[in-house]
Amino acid sequence: MARLNTDMKGRKARFVWNEFLPTLGVNGTMGRTNWASSQSAMIGMPGTATSIPGLGTEYDRVLVTDPFSLPNWFVQAQFSAELIFSFALIEGIKSIKLDYDASRISLEKAKLQMEQGVRKMYNGILLLEANVALLQESFENAKRQTNMAEANFRAGLVPRLAWLQAQVAVENMKPAMNDLENTLKTLKGNFALFCGLPYDALIELEPVELGGNYISPDMNDFISRSASGKPDIQELQANIITLQTQRKALRLQAYTPYLRFGWTMSTLFNPMLNPFKDSWFTKDSWTSKGQAGGSFTITLGWSINSLFPFTKEGQTRKDLEAGVQIQNIALAQMIRETELEIFTKINSLEKIRSSTEAQQATVDLAEQSYRLTEEAYRAGLQDLQSVQNAALALNQAKIQLLTQQFNYLNDLIDLEYSIGVPFGTLGSSGTK
């Protein structure tokens, strides 16, 4: 939609010179007079020299016939050309070009938002794949624990109940695995459609680097960048400039005169003939060239309607002025919201970094605890419940760690969009 809108405005900007083309028109009018009209004819009688203009022959007598009625219906054809010039026209042309520039910014914003969504969905798929892998690892561990429980039962170290509990734990994990795998399949289908691929396209994503791209952001620098670099702010600034130009055009239209150049050429169906009975395509059907109507006019005018605030033109100008004020307020509000957004994102990044470091230590402890508990269970010193609890704690710690790491990447993507730098700039080599 943004591309089509840009193409439409680009075509309008390329042909903006057509404002200087005259408006051409052809029209035909058929009408009927309310009252019948009559006319007398002059007939020359041969004789001594008497000249009657228009008859081309000399006569000594002229016979004037009795009046006869003319047809009530008449037909007129007209061709017209008109060109209006004003100072507002120049500003209107400028407004069209600025509107095209604003639409290109909107198109670039749409592309960036699309890329932002793709990148975050990409990370979401990787996180879900990691969760599926952890759950499969837990499932394999649960099956191994079932085998150990069976071996311990046959060795007389644990009761049969412990073996049955291990089997139940394995079976209980299967629905959760199926649900998570179906969720992953659905997310990949949505991702494929988002990228313009068939929903069942085979998608294999390259892993991203985790835990090694922490940045030391400069909040003041990022806020100053966002004021001129965020696509949303750029789009709003371009729209404000366009509205200001349109407002100037309306003011010029209200306070400056205009020139109208007009040219018309018209011809009338012979009033002596009836358009419903006589032919339209004979030599005498239409008035001759010398009798045809038409004119060339130059008009200097000034529309005073917009000078009064209660007229439609005056209200339009007031509405546009209010629109400019509204957009300026929205721009100021967006800048403040962006400052708050960057402040929140930077704090979130710092929090995630410290939490990730602590969570990594938690994962190391959980792995050590699980390993020792499993060894004790194998030796018959711990029950199955202890092993399952240690495995659950390890799995939760790993999921928390992965979630924090992917949240950090997504916050970096949002921060890059807000300050107007290419995606991957902050995540690849720190601050730039």
pLDDT over 80 at 72, yes or no: no
Pick from 77, 339, 109: nearest CA to 227: 339
Which of 76-85, 124-133, 355-364, 373-382 is least confident? Answer: 373-382
Q: Which domains, from first to last, does the chain contain?
A: 2-17+88-256+302-429 (1.20.1600.10)
41-54, pLDDT tens digit by residue?
A: 555 555 544 454 54
Q: Which value, in Å, is the radius of gyration of the alpha carbons in the chain?
A: 43
pLDDT over 60 at 175, yes or no: yes
What predicted TM-score, i.e. pTM, was given to this entire model? 0.75
pLDDT score, position 432: 36
Please report the sign of the dihedral spanned by the C-alpha atoms of residue 278, residue 280, residue 283, residue 286.
positive
pLDDT score, position 430: 41
pLDDT score, position 39: 63
Residue with more model confidence, 367 or 158: 367
What are the structure tokens assigned to 84, written together?
């209006």
CA distance 243 to 129: 49
CA distance 129 to 367: 21
pLDDT over 80 at 260, yes or no: yes
319-355, pLDDT tens digit by residue?
A: 889 999 999 999 999 999 999 999 999 999 889 888 8
Residue with more model confidence, 288 or 309: 309
Q: Which amino acid appears at position 322 of this protein?
A: A
Contact (CB, 8 A) for 39 and 70 = yes
Q: What share of the chain is helix, strand, coil (3-state, %, to 5)?
A: 65, 15, 25
pLDDT score, position 116: 92
Which of 64-68, 190-194, 200-204 is least confident? Answer: 64-68
Question: Percent of the chain having pLDDT more than 70?
Answer: 89
pLDDT over 90 at 104, yes or no: yes
pLDDT score, position 309: 82
Average pLDDT of the residues in 108-112: 93
pLDDT over 50 at 166, yes or no: yes
Which SS3 state, helix, strand or coil, does residue 420 take? coil
